[in-house]
Amino acid sequence: MSPKSYRRGYPVAVLIGIEQSQGAIWKIYSQVAKPEGNIHLEGTRSNTKALYSFHETIINTFRPSLKEGVNSIIIASPQKTNYNQEFLNHIKEHHQWLLQGANKASFKQITGSAITHTQVSNITSTNEFKQSINDSTLEETENLRELIEKRLNATEGLVMFSLEEAEEAIYSYETPGKPKPEYLLITDNYLTGDKRKGRINRLIQIAQNKKIKTRIINKESPAGTRLTQLGGIICLLK
């Protein structure tokens, strides 16, 4: 894994800042926040088509993070506005797939601006943001725990239980006719405590490059507790 990856840590959530005529999408890592895109409303909020296009562009901008397995979404808008609720209403009306199924996203709303680096730095240091991250992550990991149980009860061979098995599945990703890795799940304790940390980080980077959903999970969370029982690392195939 590159030095840059070490500095930023692992992905935790997506932060969406929505203002009257603009929006910004940030990927929140365990160490830093990285800008993913800035969006401008082409028209006014009273223009239904313009607002629809604005919301669709926001979704398309954070869609790659969803494909990577980052399903915790925090939406920030200034006090005494309902921009975040308008966005959620758009999702409920047009994107029910974000709210249903094992891969559904967890959405939380907070008050504040998250357009500039300074604003994001300020908002991510607040107790409200930290609590929202905790709540969203808890909900997300509960969804992952349910997914783990379903795969464990499914056809044999869809769950890899060791670093070696995960490496074999991910490194042979392109092999025709073999089940494809969908998730690489690792507890934070396994990542920091195992002597093979460099090897684990390399696997994480390769999995991310192959667009395999990769999550580092708090060992105290529902999914983390179950993962610990299973050895701290699993690779789910489909």
pLDDT along the chain (238 residues), means of 10: 53 94 93 93 95 97 88 94 96 93 84 96 92 82 82 76 91 80 90 86 88 86 86 90
Cα–Cα distance for residue pair 58/25, rounded to 1 Å = 7
pLDDT of residue 174: 74
pLDDT of residue 193: 84
Q: Which helix (H) or strand (E) holds 92?
A: helix 83-94
CA distance to 12, 73, 96, 121, per residue, from 200 (Å):
18, 26, 35, 30
Residue type, 188: D
- Cβ neighbourhood burial of 192 (10 Å; 0-12, 13-18, 19+): exposed
CB neighbour list of residue 209: distance below 8 Å, 6 or more residues apart: none
Cα–Cα distance for residue pair 200/177, rounded to 1 Å = 26
Cα–Cα distance for residue pair 30/25, rounded to 1 Å = 16
CB neighbour list of residue 147: distance below 8 Å, 6 or more residues apart: 102, 103, 183, 236
pLDDT of residue 108: 93
pLDDT of residue 6: 43
DSSP state of 220: T
Cα–Cα distance for residue pair 50/154, rounded to 1 Å = 45
- Cβ neighbourhood burial of 69 (10 Å; 0-12, 13-18, 19+): buried
1 contacts 14 by C-beta, under 8 angstroms: no
Cα–Cα distance for residue pair 59/33, rounded to 1 Å = 18
For the chain, counts of helices (H) and of strands (E): 9, 9
CA distance to 147, 162, 170, 218, 223, per residue, from 175 (Å):
25, 20, 10, 32, 29
Q: Which two tokens stand for residue 60?
A: 């398309």
pLDDT of residue 26: 97
Residue type, 161: F
Domains identified in the chain and CATH numbers: 3-142 (3.30.420.60), 154-237 (3.30.1330.30)
CA distance to 148, 181, 203, per residue, from 157 (Å):
13, 11, 20
pLDDT of residue 1: 41
